Structure 1
Amino acid sequence: MEQVLEQDKPWALLSEVGGDHGYLEELADIVKQHFQIVCLADFLQNPELHGSKIQALLNWKFCPPAEPALLRLLPSLKVVASAGVGVDHLDVAFIRSLGVKVANTPGVVSDSTADLAMGLLLASARRIVDAHRIAVDPNTTRIPQSLMGVEVTGSTIGIIGMGEIGYKIAQRSRGFEMKVVYHNRTRRSAEDEQAVGAAFCGSLDELLRRSDFVLIAVKLTSETRGLIGCRELSLMKPTATLVNISRGQVVDQDALLHALQAGSIRAAALDVTHPEPLPRNHPLLRLPNVLITPHIGINTHATARRMVETMVENAAAAVRGSPVPNEVRPL
């Protein structure tokens, strides 16, 4: 009976199981409860074997890439279920033109991403990575008094993008008694603002001038690409820190490099760059006032599990012909 049930499961294409870039075994097991799976490398060795069977493509950390060359090999595809909120790596309009639905996993990533944002802010402000290196250096005999950071409590955080993640960052900022200002395409309700003590800035320029920490939490769109460039960085306080958890392309990296080298701003803390990872000789990697993590905003076991469960829920609904809970439509 179990064998029949297994054979009745629809087929899904995913990147790989295990390895540095694949699904953890525990996450792959969630997928296997609902789908028969084939990994990308195995599929590409013999596309004819499974191509006509695959109805779902599960896009985890941008892989498998939902590009035309691959999609043409999947005539029965019904859904591209992507992990995370951003879908800038997908051509949603093109995919939908093939009669294929697109889905993402909003909501489930918000807490872990907001937590990391605050972690980056605190680590940069208090020079935690520098302090760790000194503490474990075998040559350390005395703690240098020059290891000074900046105060977080009572400072002003400017949040660019007050969606769900931005709002959760504001909630956490209140715990540090920070003053919260924000700029968003649409102003939040008075009740929302009051709940986190947030003040709306009608212009981005105003936020940049007021903030001790500028935190970017926007989606990557044609409007936000290059949002922070030379002019915007020049408006920031020389004591300010830029924190980016959105996408690398939102910031002009050459302009950021110049501002950091010139001391126009104090520091940058980045969970995203462009490309990822940066070339190993990129000058941003050598600056003492830059903290970079490798796009780990969603990297907790609990969040990863919820993401895969949501991806599977979206994919299974599409295969059944039911409404897809988190369907993405072109703007």
Structure 2
Amino acid sequence: MPAQRLSVVVTRRLPEPVETRMKELFDVELNEADRKLSREELVEAMRRADVLVPCVTDDIDQAMLARAGDRLKLIANYGAGIDHLDVQTARQRGILVSNTPGVVTEDTADMTIALILAVTRRIPEGLAMMQAGQWQGWAPTAFMGGRIGGRRLGILGMGRIGQAVARRARVFGMQVHYHNRRRLRPEIEEELEATYWDSLDQMVSRMDVISINCPHTPSTFHLMNARRLKLMKPDAVIVNTSRGEVIDENALTRMLRAGEIAGAGLDVFEHGHEINPRLRELHNVVLLPHMGSATVEGRVEMGEKVIINIKTFADGHRPPDLVVPAML
């Protein structure tokens, strides 16, 4: 007699090949409307599922896990970031948590460089003029930005994505500097031609471009606060493709409006999709809707990792991408 298939609830629509494969392997419930589930709907989903597949927009806290019941055994997160999940409480309740690390590295690094170029070369301003039909022809002093070759890039967070950004930046002729919880091994520093700064304050004050590539944890919340943002050079720019909470968004908005920072490129925001309207008004800011990992290839690979984690768990083994509290 065949083993009973796991009940899997997926909170958002996933790429079609991923959903098709899930339906072949599991008793899967899909979110056909692709609507963000409420807290109560997430709790109900956890009560009726063996496995929940949430994503970054699904905040699952201690109170919700306390109401989840006893059926849920695995939260197979669709994405690498797990700051929206209370992993500690989940593990205490006997619920395993897995994620999808490494998949979005190259895509996010590409987007980081794209934002650096967009801000420094004023690409959105030119695009807006063209779309408005206002361009009167080429002029010697129109839309002058700055070249990125020779500029100092300070990378905050030198994990997989930070290192991928560094490799790309070197190709563009940028000088790579970084601050990290732990210094990289000498051979990696040499390969990346990267200079380590023990003091984040000193690095920030000397860079032309700051790239945020660290995760959001209690220790990185508002790591770029008002005091640290004020250390930046007036002609410097900051880009963030990691987590919005790392930057004090209100302080950044004030400084951009006052011309104390030259520009910013943001793919993530402190309060999710609720963006400070004053930030949206600024011409020296490039805002994107969390597109860093939005490639067909990347999103399918993320789904494949989720499936592998669930299948491995169903076979009685430890999911290969198991998240443990000690990793946080």
TM-score by length of 1: 0.89
Question: Is the counterpart of residue 167 in structure 1 residue 163 in structure 2?
Answer: yes
Q: Which consecutive unaligned segments of at least 5 residues does structure 2 have?
A: none
Instruction: Quote the sequence identity (%).
Output: 34
Give the corresponding residue for 1:33: 24
1:235 is paired with a residue of what secondary structure? coil
Match of 2:110 in 1: 115
Relative to structure 1, the CA distance from residue 302 to residue 12 in structure 2 (aligned partners, 3 Å threshold; closer, same or farther) is same
Q: Which amino acid aligns with 2:165?
A: I
Inter-partner Cα distance in structure 1 for 2:59 and 2:263: 35
- Trace 1:219-234 onto structure 2 (pairs within 5 A): 219-234=215-230
Q: Structure 1 segments of 4 or more deviating over 4 A?
A: 40-45, 50-53, 64-68
SS, match of residue 115 in structure 1? helix
For this pair of structures, how many residues does the alignment match? 319
SS class of match (1:96): helix
In the alignment, which residue of structure 2 is the partner of 1:213?
A: 209
Question: Is 1:330 the counterpart of 2:325 in the alignment?
Answer: yes
Q: Which residue of 195, 214, 225 maps to 2:191?
A: 195
Distance 2:78 2:67 in 1: 22
Cα offset, 1:247, TM superposition: 1.0
Question: 1:119-198 counterparts in 2 under 5 A?
Answer: 119-143=114-138, 145-198=141-194
- After superposition, residues 1-331 of structure 1 pair within 5 angstroms as 8-16=4-12, 22-39=13-30, 54-63=49-58, 65=60, 68-69=63-64, 72-143=67-138, 145-279=141-275, 282-331=277-326
**Cα separation, 2, equivalents of 1:307 and 1:75:** 27
CA distance, structure 2, for counterparts of residue 41 and residue 68 of structure 1: 27
Distance in 1 between residues matched to 2:301 and 2:278, nearest whole Å? 37
Instruction: Give the letter aligned to residue 82 of structure 1.
Output: N
Instruction: Check whether the contact 2:154–2:176 (CA below 8 A) recurs between aligned residues.
Output: yes
CA-to-partner distance for each residue in 1:16-58, whole Å, 9 max, x for gaps?
4xxxxx223233113223212113699989x99x877621111
Q: TM-score, with normalisation over the residues of structure 2? A: 0.90
Give CA deviations for 1:57-111 in whole Å, capped at 9, x if unaligned: 1113434857644773452211101122211100001111110101111111111
Distance (Å, rounded) in 1 between the aligned partners of 2:59 and 2:5: 21
Q: Report the 3-state secondary structure (helix = DSSP H, G, I; strand = E; otherwise coil) of the residue aligned with 1:260.
A: helix
Q: Identify if the C-alpha distance between structure 1 residues 214 and 316 changes in structure 2 by more than 3 Å, giving closer, same or farther.
A: same
- Report if aligned partners of 2:56, 2:81 keep a CA contact under 8 Å in 1: no
Are the equivalent residues in 1 in contact too, given 2:267–2:289 (CA < 8 A)? yes
Letter in structure 1 aligned against 2:117: L
Of residues 111-120 and 55-64 in structure 1, the stretch that sits farther from structure 2 once superposed is 55-64
RMSD: 2.4
Displacement after TM superposition at 1:8 (Å): 3.9
